[in-house]
Structure 1
């Protein structure tokens, strides 16, 4: 006989936004009052809501939850209270409240046609609507604008965007869209016909769920929370009323986007690691969203709190990756705040080193020799150690500081120590950065043998960063290598750009892959929108996509006798001795991906390609200076699922009449003078 879950499960809540300085006794009192207010909301007892909220504000006048509840109660008491429509504001109920006179008729220029009013809470009104573009019913949560300033609106938008990133998970309620209509901010959500877990419990015999059903729901909630926590996001108001059920009974956590979403100061370590990693791999939009969440969490804490000090080292480390220094003042303020804390505080020693490292990096980024000298003296006793909070070798930091001070010989001693330390310990990402920084110091000193060693260090850095997918470092190293060769740096925005820059720098010998007339046909390709795909899928799933993509490309290259010149991430440069075989290979690759996408329409892989033929043997320098660039620029013009070729390649492959080409178009290609005629290939 199955057992039931006790009804006490309905009262499970996570701590709210209550200031740390409030005593434990008062904190519990505030928690109880807020629980009473929320229970009163569920009963539509607005007088009780107002009284409970006012009691909270007597203890904590700035409590945002109480202020929201009070605003909702005052508004509800000023009009006739609606009849409870459904325990779940995003689910359909036959007893839904009749539309009020001021109910909106549509949103987004008529795309979403409002059908009925579903319910109301302290922060939003929810309507059922029909999405005319996709022919489906949705729920529209309209954020109440009363009392919202620009800061609050910005926060709502940012929280909704964070919720959107989490929405790809099976157990998290997805946000379809975010918009504004006549000054009203709204969210488009799925219409959850299964109702809420709270309603499920209320409708169950004796308010008890069967054990098997309760366990299924709890497992789904745990999976959703695990995913959210892995992204540095915690839910402050988890309860049965914020867990919805899909048609098949799948539990989905919701209400992250209003007052449930926060970054707990206790999770700062986890979140700042995510920020550093996302910056390392070049996912700057994702990283910036995480950083904004961390900054927002810090604003709600006293600058004297220990958690605030995370910013002192994090911001300069991020600036070292991106080159953007506009937030360094925040880092300096956080560092100085930490130094004012009683030195007997637990963990302070590690955090002081972290803050001093951040101040040192700020001095390096600003080229401030005096500040660099001050921080060098503070950090010198830590040489040979690893900064555990930031993953930086202290010797690399000392090398950068010595270089900023103008002592290049001492800087090189520190960089040598950093390399030895990282190699012995196996810290490969830090080794890659140390190689690049060491190379810069050697180039600046420019003594005998420095240039050759600088190039060797860049080669080592490029090999590691390419393997680990460290996009910003790849771009930096390629730019350095081109500068050493006297070639102007390019703006690297795609995988094709990165591969082309690497090949220009390395200039591999392709004579063995040339045709008898000395020509080589080049094919560039990458995945359209790979950065956005990574944000949707996450790093682990994206790595699976890349492995599948690379297997398809390499299988076809081998079948058509091609040669893989270079690959970085999802970008490829391939070489063929035959223009015809190169084009046939490109067509076979596109057909293979078309078959893959037919089987996996939920996440199609769209590959773009560009081809050109150039003479290699007699004009090697010109080949890399012009032909490689031309082929890469043609590929950059292609859209996902397209093959574009140069006019010369069309001429070489058009005689048999078995390959169909579109009408040619004249294009201006970045870095090349004049117009270049390209043709679209019909590979279907």
Structure 2
């Protein structure tokens, strides 16, 4: 009887050992399969994901494509209502730091808002493919002048730009340069006229996470809303911030009320120097 029990125990032990060995092999095969599947998923994701933009122009086109749909529902005023999360998709950490550094120690900064006049009918007339090319050319012209005068793009939405300048006169000269360069661009000439309206205001703002907030941000946007295509309008605060010996030409427009802002406001048109 003892012998029989010993034989049975030995056989059972052998079965357990074989089962454990087979289980280990099965788990190893499953692990290899999971690894293989994960690698396939990674390769598929890499194949479907668009390559990173190679240069500034390509990044600009990507931005245009992603936001062109906002043009129909967001004008200049809509631009100031963008969330911080949206902003972070445009600006790197370094860019956000540069934006915050544009304001003086007391929070004063010159803000520039712009957009294309009648952009929705233009989009409809040109079609989406051509419209994207037009926006890319428009984007290139604006960014070249903004960079030349040391401005920082705070955020964009479709054809709308919000830009910060440390120097008020630099903001005005950048705007004049933009209005001068737009008709010279071959793409814009071919599909134009592409008329941009610009508004500029100087004042104290609240800076946070690479964005600006406060009454003066709204003021700058409202001034831009008053402009017609091809015009540059500025608030009275801009005129006061300019040096007395500036070569810029400012012509007083009507005193106006600005939606959502109390009181009446003097608005000035900035004109190119006489030739």
Q: So what's the TM-score if we normalise by structure 2?
A: 0.65
Distance 1:645 1:677 in 2: 9
Q: Equivalent residue for 2:176?
A: 587
Alignment match, 1:145: none
Q: Report the 3-state secondary structure (helix = DSSP H, G, I; strand = E; otherwise coil) of the residue aligned with 1:501.
A: coil
1:534 and 1:666 mapped to 2: Cα distance?
A: 33
Does residue 515 of the first structure (1) align with residue 95 of the second (2)? no
Change (3 A) 1:679 1:494: farther
Match of 2:222 among 633, 645, 650: 633
Task: Specify the alignment match of 1:307 in structure 2.
Answer: none
Q: Distance in 1 between matches of 2:188 and 2:138?
A: 14
Aligned pairs for 1:524-539 (under 5 A) are: 524-539=113-128
TM-aligned CA deviation for residue 683 of structure 1: 2.1
Deviation sequence 1:259-298 (CA, Å, 0-9, x none): xxxxxxxxxxxxxxxxxxxxxxxxxxxxxxxxxxxxxxxx
The offset of 1:511, in angstroms, is 2.9
One of 57, 68, 71 as aligned partner of 1:469: 68
Query: 1:613 maps to which residue?
Result: 202
Partner of 1:673: helix, strand, or coil?
Answer: coil
Q: Report the 3-state secondary structure (helix = DSSP H, G, I; strand = E; otherwise coil) of the residue aligned with 1:614.
A: strand
1:502 and 1:599 map into 2 onto residues whose CA distance is: 27
Is 1:500 the equivalent of 2:99? no
Structure 1 stretches of 5 or more lacking a match?
1-422, 428-462, 473-491
Please list the CA deviations of residues 225-283 of structure 1 after superposition, one character each: whole Å capped at 9, or x if unmatched: xxxxxxxxxxxxxxxxxxxxxxxxxxxxxxxxxxxxxxxxxxxxxxxxxxxxxxxxxxx
Residues 503/585 of structure 1: CA separation in 2 closer, same or farther (3 Å cut): farther
Kept in 1: contact 2:137–2:188 (CA 8 A): no
The corresponding residue for 1:649 is 238
Counterpart selection for 2:130 from 537, 541, 547:
541
Given that 1:664 and 1:680 are in contact with CA atoms closer than 8 Å, whether structure 2 keeps it comes out as yes
TM-fit CA distance, 1:471: 2.8
Alpha-carbon distance between aligned partners in 1 of 2:203 and 2:85, rounded to the nearest angstrom: 18
> Does the C-alpha gap of structure 1 residues 601 and 542 become closer, same or farther in structure 2, counting only changes over 3 Å?
closer
Distance 2:238 2:173 in 1: 12
1:577–1:470 Cα change, 3 Å: same
CA distance in 1, matches of 2:118, 2:176: 20
For 2:23, the equivalent position in structure 1 comes to none
CA offset at residue 672 of structure 1? Answer: 1.4
In 1, distance between residues paired with 2:238 and 2:194? 26
* Secondary structure of the structure 2 residue equivalent to 1:469: helix
Deviation at 1:466, TM superposition (A): 7.8
> What is the Cα deviation at residue 643 of structure 1?
0.4
CA contact (8 A) 1:597 1:604 kept: no
Counterpart pick for 2:159 among 570, 588, 602: 570
Change (3 A) 1:626 1:517: closer
| Deviation (angstroms), 1:539 | 0.4
Q: Deviations over 1:619-654 (max 9, x none)?
A: 558x61211111011111100000011101111115
Structure 1 residues 524 and 599: alpha-carbon distance in aligned structure 2, compared to 1, 3 A threshold:
closer
Structure ranking higher on relative contact order (CA contacts 8 Å, 6+ apart): 2
What is residue 561 of structure 1 aligned with on the other side? 150
Cα gap change, 1:632/1:493 in structure 2, threshold over 3 Å: closer, same or farther?
farther
Deviations 1:453-472 (A, max 9, x none): xxxxxxxxxx9998253339
The CA distance in 1 between the partners of 2:230 and 2:148, in whole Å, is 20
Distance 1:503 1:650 in 2: 31
Query: Which one of the candidate residues 671, 676, 679 is aligned to 2:260?
Result: 671
Change (3 A) 1:638 1:599: closer
- Contact 1:667–1:677 (Cα < 8 Å) also in 2: yes
Q: Secondary structure at the match of 1:604?
A: coil
- The corresponding residue for 1:374 is none
SS at 2:82's partner residue? helix
Greater share of residues in strand:
2
CA contact (8 A) 1:607 1:640 kept: yes
Evaluate the alpha carbon distance shift between residue 471 and residue 516 of structure 1 in structure 2; reply closer, same or farther with a 3 A threshold: closer
**Aligned pair in 2 of structure 1 residues 647, 503: CA closer, same or farther (>3 Å)?**
farther
**Preserved CA contact (<8 Å) 1:519 1:615:** yes
- What is the CA distance between 1:505 and its match in structure 2? 8.0
* 8 A contact 1:466–1:568 mirrored in 2: no
